Each structure stands twice: as C-alpha cells, then as structure tokens.
Chains A and B, each alone.
Chain A
Amino acid sequence: MEYRIDSAEQGLSAYITGRLTFNDHAKIRSLIAEALAGVSNTVCFDLDELQFIDSAAVGMLLIAHEELNKSGRRLVLRNATGQVKRVITVAQLSKVITVEE
C-alpha cells in the first residue's frame, strides 16, 4: 500500500493505492499521525485506486476513525470500488464511518 496526502481548504485527502492488508499497519499509523498533525477537521481517505482490503484493513479503518474522532476530526471514506467497496458494504462500515461514492 502507498499513500499520498493532499491538503486543501476543504480538508485533507489521503489517496491510498495498492493493497491494504495487515502488513500495512505501520503505514496506516503513519498516515493517521500525519492527519492528526494537520489542521483539517475532515480527513478523507480516497480509495479509488485501492484494489484490495482484508479483514485487518477493516480494523485499521475503524482504528483510524477512532483516532481522528478522539481529536474532533471526521473520517470520510470516498470512491471505493470493486472488492474494496464490497468489503466496506459487507462490514457495514457506513454505520460508523461516513462513506461517500
């Protein structure tokens, strides 16, 4: 998994690419830390180019939501497609995290 961060007026966007699995725990932690260091209240994970997530990745998204929420920030998952979209739907993450098309 790789990510690129883009800070704009409307919020911070993290473009996540590749495969997000248990092995990417440290990278997600790093991404969360960068988001917490920023001033944006809304942090958007753009998943358009993310091809695959596993169970651990679902847990990581919940952890990211929790960490950001604790500091008064909101996590938005955006543009998920294919397998990523299916897993997010099955796990019903929209009950906890804002999910946008």
Chain B
Amino acid sequence: MVGMRILIADDNATMRSMLEKFAGRIGRFDIDFAGNGKEALRFYREKHHQLVIIDNFMPELNGIDVLRELRGDPLLDNTHVMMITGEVNRQLVTTIRTEFLKIDDLIAKPIDFEKMTAKVTAVVSRFNRKNRANGPLLRAADPVQAQTTKDATLTADVVDRGSLAIIELNGKLVNSNRSVIAKTLKDMQTIFAKTIVIDINGVDEIDDFGCGTLAIMSGWLSLNEKEVLLACDDCATKERITSLGISKLVPEYKGCLDII
C-alpha cells in the first residue's frame, strides 16, 4: 500500500508533537518533521509530500519564503499546503494571491482542530482516490468506522471521522449497482458525524436510479439532523446533477482557499 507523505514544518517542538498526534488520529502517515524553513525545503525536494503543514514564522526561511522557493515546481500541484500563522491579515492574503503561492488553506492560531480535521480528511480522501488500486489509507487506519463495498463498476467508501464523514462514490452510480448503494445506506445509519459530504467526483455515469438515490440519501440524512453537502467540483456528471435540481436538494461542498 502506498502511504501518504506529510511534512510538518514548525520551529516549535511542542507544536510539531501536537500536529503529529493530530495526524495520528486521522490515519497512518509517513511524516517528516522540519524545524526551520531550510530543512522544510530540503525534505520537500527529497520526498514531494502530498500534504505540507507549515508554520509561517520560522527561522532561516519563513513559510512564505519556502513557498516562494518552491513556486513553479510542477510536483507542487499534487501537494496540499496548509500554512499556520499567528495572524491572518490583508497583507499576507495579498502576498499569497499576487505572488501565486501554492497555499490551499491558511490556518489561524489558535488552531481550530475540528475544522482542520475536515480539511485533512478531504485531502486524504483525494489521495486515496488517486491510489485506489492500493486501497484506501483511512480504512487501514480505522477498520471499524471505514468500510468499503466493492462491486464491478461502483465503489462506496464511508469514512467517519467524528466531526465529519465522507461518503465517497467512484464509478457508475446506476441501477445495476443497487446492491452497493443498499449496503452504503445501511452503513450510513452508524455515522456519528454531524456533517456528511457525499463525494461524487469519482462518479462518471449516473442514471435515474443514481439521481433518485442522491436525493433520498441526502433527504434521509437531513431528516436525521445531519448537514449534508455534495462534492462534485470536477465531477463528470455535474451538468446532469445541476439540471435535475439535485443541487437544490443538497448544497455543494466547496473546497477552496479557506481561512480556518
């Protein structure tokens, strides 16, 4: 199994330890630790981590300087960068935008770990999708909560991380895969999370049954006082979903540069 690589860069040892424990609650990762910007740069160039959590204020090179150095590295496109900063101000945001620095999330201190969990879980989910052949990482880390149902043309992974759960559908959401959905609906009954993202970015075909299923799935979860969101930002079936009014039934989950 391919493990997701994380780089944690912070000059504060206590913070590094806290972030390590935080990551450990989400899954099993290959983690590198850097105590300053130069070290972070060296580690990243060696391993090209899928997730970088970097403090802005560090000796040698600060977080912004590290991202300036890395700008233009094509492998950075496959990396999700979270920058932790003591203060989110207009100047910082302007610098990031005008210099086209690859920073996906700005995280203000004190860190809201609940929101950060949601973000990291989404990153892990995307990584798992890309490495489908090797099996989802979260499932290995948490065999009780995460379950995978396999069928010829559809997979459904339910990942419950406490505050947020992701129902990740990949393949053909069509009537012939009804048994997969039936099992997923059953699994959903044990979801503890308050917010549930139905991720259909990996769905490449949807029929009457699929559309109806999305409506029923989201409706059922709403009735159970869950906040349900639909992730379909680069979804092949987005036009179909929108024209049928599914987006009126389930608000869209938007992943963008969020300050959390």
Contacts from A to B (Cβ < 8 Å):
22, 25, 54-63, 65-66, 87, 89-93, 95-97
Closest Cβ of chain A: how far from B184's Cβ, in Å? 12
| CB-based contact A22/B208 at 8 Å | yes
Q: Chain B, interface size: which category? A: 20 to 34
| CB-based contact B244/A55 at 8 Å | no
| CB-based contact A55/B249 at 8 Å | no
New A-B contacts (12) at CB < 8 Å, excluding given A55-B209, A91-B215: A54-B212, A57-B212, A58-B212, A60-B208, A62-B215, A62-B244, A63-B211, A66-B244, A90-B219, A91-B212, A91-B219, A92-B218
Residue B99 at the chain A interface, CB threshold 8 Å: no
Chain B contact residues: helix, strand, loop or mixed: helix
| CB-based contact A96/B245 at 8 Å | yes
Residue B216 at the chain A interface, CB threshold 8 Å: yes
Q: Which residue of B lies closest to A61 (CB)?
A: B212
| CB-based contact B212/A55 at 8 Å | yes
Q: Which residue of B lies closest to A55 (CB)?
A: B212
| CB-based contact A92/B212 at 8 Å | no
The answer, among A66, A90, A95, A96, for a CB contact under 8 Å with B216, is A90
Known A-B contacts A22-B175, A95-B249; the reply to A56 vs B222 at CB < 8 A is: no
How far is B178's CA from A54's CA once the two chains are assembled, in angstroms?
11
